[in-house]
A and B are shown apart, each in its own frame.
Chain A
């Protein structure tokens, strides 16, 4: 079939290439031309990591068929820094601290460049609208807006170029100084290579076959047809594991690939490697897996009932972990209370959505060391686990942490590194895998959803006498970090308050849902959401200001925690005072402060977003900055 012929100008240089007709401009730039500064985050136009200029117009290159590049002038992030000197905007990103993991940053820099090209005087609201197609998961966007405003002002002469320079540190005292991030230039220029950007000579591409069932016995797997396909260099299943299979942050209950049964939709069952990623994908459909569906359970409360489907033989009650915390006697505390408030709280499963989907590269080096390069948050533990799984001594297993395009806990699990190692060992060639966004979402751990029953007893003056908290949490099909999440959730559940009687129980439960695992704030977010909301309810019922009820109960220096640990210094009341002052808090009972309050809509708030900043600016250019 005819290849495309693409003649175009890329970053000022003419190119003429043949390309496969199905390629997207993103693939053409990255894979055929090596412009890996343009990233793939979602492949569906939803994130903006792949933004490039085509004939001066910014487009998401994952939505542009490569054929449309014919005859165009393309500018990628690599083209912005002329002669190695960062553009003003790139320097402003560096100065403002606008990059964190950096994976969204090339696209973000491109979008910001487009914004200032479209309107060199764009105000902050217009800048926000023009960046509206580019997702950042790390920064919260504020430093990005700051950077674009800084660049705008430097370009317009409103601020001097020196505003982009490093701040001085007095006398070599660098701790406490806003030193510019050392890794920012590599990120704003697109030079930094993440695992999915790396290639090795003779490298294979791996694709993964996944379970369509939530719970099923694997009757048989026949890989012969896939193995016989032209271009297929290797197929692996659980049968290829030479050692003791099983990984997990706390309990090693998850096999590298499903072994005997699958426990959730998307679980990895087999993998194929080929020099051509398309052949690897096509070969997946040639693997014949016979499943015998098993009863499944999708709700943590159901899973705790007798007779529920059991996921793991070692845990017949489906309980991954129960953590109890006990202080004093809650019955006595409730008896001493003037007010008892009960409520239930629930939180949902949440995806980390780091912009860099999982990717990794593995090879066996000349000394026989199995080497895995991936954005892993826990290379130390991964090498321990992998050495058992592949039955090699620790020093024959090497993990290298590639730049992490966002983790948030989601890259602590060794979900694909084991498959990569096995494939590299089997084929004796370097192997790379890059997850699609959908694979990343469907198959990797989530924040634990939770269901919490909460009971608090207080005296009239707002003093908490007792709390009883029970949280049931769906851990999904594998243990991952559930045990640790339940522990942290329990320890911190009742909040930083001195409470004489505390009873906390957290339960992590197996179900056939997508596994839950580590996620920034690790269980403490779920329980403290309940506690801090509950305190607001109690404050209203007692006619107290929300700061006041917290101050009455706040742990202070020397406090004993709910695990009976003696604390030395406790900064909580200082934090409360500082927040009250910073926000110019107007004291009062929630929802009762009425029309005369003067605290709203002041400094520290942004305008309400109504969209159309550029339309308003066009309609009344003189007043746009006031609005």
Chain B
């Protein structure tokens, strides 16, 4: 049970920082609350008494979303469901809808925020690998000496371990800045123990752009979650894919590359097997979604479909 004496719903960043300063050491920030409320229960944190809850979900800046030619700016409190129902976001961030459909359920996606998914730093978070694949950077803000100061860093640098981030105690995660990748073929692979409302054992986001001939991968983005303390971008695989043609042999070689990265504390063998298969399946699907279907070796298509 989450027990508080005071619940503050704030309308601006300025107010939020003032409240954080006023209640330093005795407050907790919440936005969607979908992780915080279940956390304060038996078997996890138990009953938690927090004198002040500071709700930032209604701050306009945290809800803004802006798409231009090359970048997408997402307020930290944008709910996951927007990736499914905002066509502009879906076009600019092609892998996000495919991730969102796997993310919890329709109702939780309406509350759960993209910033919350990042800041919780769960090794199994569904939302972070796709963000990393989109080159996302977090935007952090604090109020110091009366002014709001901001800094940015890549999501993969921000995430430091399970539940650990680079966030300073006076900072808020206010937004995410992502690379818009319209026209990329996308795929999101996930396995858990059921198909809705489930925690990932492994999840993989893939984005592929083919060259004009559709013969070759011009650009590839892959990021994986669930195999270690933090999600990882598979840059070596990406460069390998860019370096040569789309042959069955090369795809299989690519799939072998991240297997050694599996460093989770449990189910390592299982995750290794799944990683290999997921890279293949995700690439096949992403290539197909990028318009390259006819180029794939039929036997490979059949084996991993």
Residue numbers of A with Cβ under 8 A of B are 1-2, 4, 21-22, 24, 43-46, 48, 51, 57-60, 62-65, 67-68, 70, 111, 114, 129-130, 132-133, 278, 281, 436, 438-439, 442, 609, 611-612, 614-615
Q: Mark B1-45, 1 if CB is under 8 A from A, else 0.
A: 111111101000000000000000000001011100110011100
Q: Which of B33, B55, B57, B84 contacts A63 (CB 8 A)?
A: B33
Pick the interface stretch among B96-104, B145-153, B161-169, B229-237: B96-104
- The chain A residue sitting closest to B87, CB to CB, is A618
- The chain A residue sitting closest to B38, CB to CB, is A44
- The chain B residue sitting closest to A47, CB to CB, is B197
Residue numbers of B with Cβ under 8 A of A are 1-7, 9, 30, 32-34, 37-38, 41-43, 47, 53, 55, 57, 84, 97-98, 101-102, 104-108, 110-111, 195-197
Q: Is the CB of B9 within 8 A of A70?
A: yes
Q: Is the CB of B41 within 8 A of A438?
A: yes
8 closest A-B pairs by CB: A133-B105, A132-B196, A44-B38, A1-B5, A438-B42, A21-B7, A67-B7, A22-B3
Contacts of B197 in A (CB 8 A): 46, 132-133
Q: Is the CB of A612 within 8 A of B98?
A: yes
Q: Is the CB of A64 within 8 A of B6?
A: no
A67 CA to B47 CA, complexed, in Å: 19
Contacts of A111 in B (CB 8 A): 106-107
Chain B: interface secondary structure? Answer: mixed
Taking the closest CB of chain A, its distance from the CB of B52, in whole angstroms, is: 9
A-B contact pairs, 21 of them (CB 8 A): A1-B6, A21-B4, A44-B37, A45-B34, A48-B107, A60-B107, A65-B53, A68-B9, A68-B55, A111-B107, A129-B106, A130-B106, A132-B197, A133-B107, A133-B108, A281-B47, A436-B41, A438-B41, A438-B43, A439-B42, A442-B43
Q: Most chain-B Cβ atoms within 10 A of its Cβ — which of A22, A111, A614?
A: A22
Extra pairs beyond A60-B111, A67-B55, A439-B42 (15, CB < 8 Å): A21-B4, A22-B7, A43-B41, A46-B197, A57-B110, A59-B110, A63-B111, A65-B55, A70-B9, A129-B106, A132-B105, A133-B107, A133-B196, A436-B41, A442-B43
Q: Most chain-A Cβ atoms within 10 A of its Cβ — which of B30, B32, B33, B98?
A: B33
- The chain B residue sitting closest to A58, CB to CB, is B107
Contacts of A48 in B (CB 8 A): 105, 107
A51 CA to B105 CA, complexed, in Å: 12
Given A133-B105, A615-B98, is A64 in contact with B5 using a C-beta cutoff of 8 Å? no
Contacts of A4 in B (CB 8 A): 7
Contacts of B53 in A (CB 8 A): 21, 65, 67
Contacts of A612 in B (CB 8 A): 97-98, 101
A434 CA to B197 CA, complexed, in Å: 25
Taking the closest CB of chain B, its distance from the CB of A339, in whole angstroms, is: 34
- The chain B residue sitting closest to A612, CB to CB, is B101
Q: Is the CB of A59 within 8 A of B1?
A: no
A531 CA to B263 CA, complexed, in Å: 40
A62 CA to B105 CA, complexed, in Å: 14
Q: Is the CB of B108 within 8 A of A45?
A: yes
A615 CA to B53 CA, complexed, in Å: 37
